[in-house]
Structure 1
Amino acid sequence: MNREHKPKLPRTDAVPVLRTDFSDPAGWDRLVQVLETPVTFDEGSEDPFAYERATSYVNPVGKEKYRGLLADMVLAAAPYTGHDLPYDHLYLADAETFASDDLPLLGIDIHLDEEDDEPWPREKPFRIPALHVAGVEINDSIANLFFRENHDFDWSGFEVYVAKPGTAVYEELRRMELDQEEDEEGEEGEEED
């Protein structure tokens, strides 16, 4: 991607995860699978409602037009004042993401300058392991811990637990997901009538 070119960032309701490196298709598939993995922060939890998927909060975008996109290009496309994007941060899945087992995404703070007495500056881009994205997004969505406040977090000391296929909680989550899909299909069918 030409560094002079200002990319048009996607208008998605969910925070985008933009694929910028296309040299590892299996790595992208693995990343999407990790973002869809049910995770919890309560060890041994058998409560399906204690689990979340990052894809409930983020939207993986694998479009070729974002190939080679860099953090400074994102910041140029989302100026400190005046952009109208519906999210205040996003993630890049770049070569460094795919080179590591924990798939650390590059998180970029693009919030707008607040019109108050003491506006806070944007944080420098920072890495977040893919399995931790759900926790970051949950906390951000409820204003418990804003995205930017994760910039110096030590992820190695923070355990996340996954619901593995075949476990009772995974099967319950899958059943709930299928029920939701059936409900949505039923609602679409009613609208067409």
Structure 2
Amino acid sequence: MTTAPVRTLPKPLRRGLLTLHVITSVGWLGISLGNIALALTVYNTSDPALQHSIYRVLEIVGNIVILPISLTAFATGVVLSVGTHWGLLRHKWVLIKLVLTLGTVLMTYLSLVPGLRESAAIVDATAPDRLADIDGSGLLSAAFVSSSIYTFNVVLSTFKPWGRTRWGRRAAEQARTRVAARV
């Protein structure tokens, strides 16, 4: 079985997608780091007004910013990997980034955003002069885990460790065979 040669994106499109990917990925990391600061504050506050405000802000960010930015970072990463020589399944670091990013997108959609909505509903049902009965440890844990994953993904993108996957090795061998057959 032979595979087609890698078709790469035109340079202006690749650069534009790469720029959008970096912006959204860094934005996602920044949101996550901001969530750590907010979660630490809400976890340690004895000020009901501050607690209520933070949970409302977190809900707004969750509803308006997190999902679009996470989906854009994921989608641009997939398009870039498919449209460049790196390939989606050819290098271990790309495959690991794919799995980690897909996992965080799913957990954001299925757990984080609904949890933020639930916390905001609890805050809305609590008198403004009373602390809402919310365990902020889940929010804090989610922010630390996601920040760690995004930071690890940056390290993977920078160092590109571990070489090719078996599919990447097979594709490279087939490419060498095609070149040798032309000579």
TM (norm. structure 1) is 0.25
Q: Which has the higher helix share?
A: 2
TM (norm. structure 2) is 0.26
The structure whose RCO (Cα within 8 Å, separation 6+) is larger is 2
Higher gyration radius (CA): 2
Q: Which has the higher strand share?
A: 1
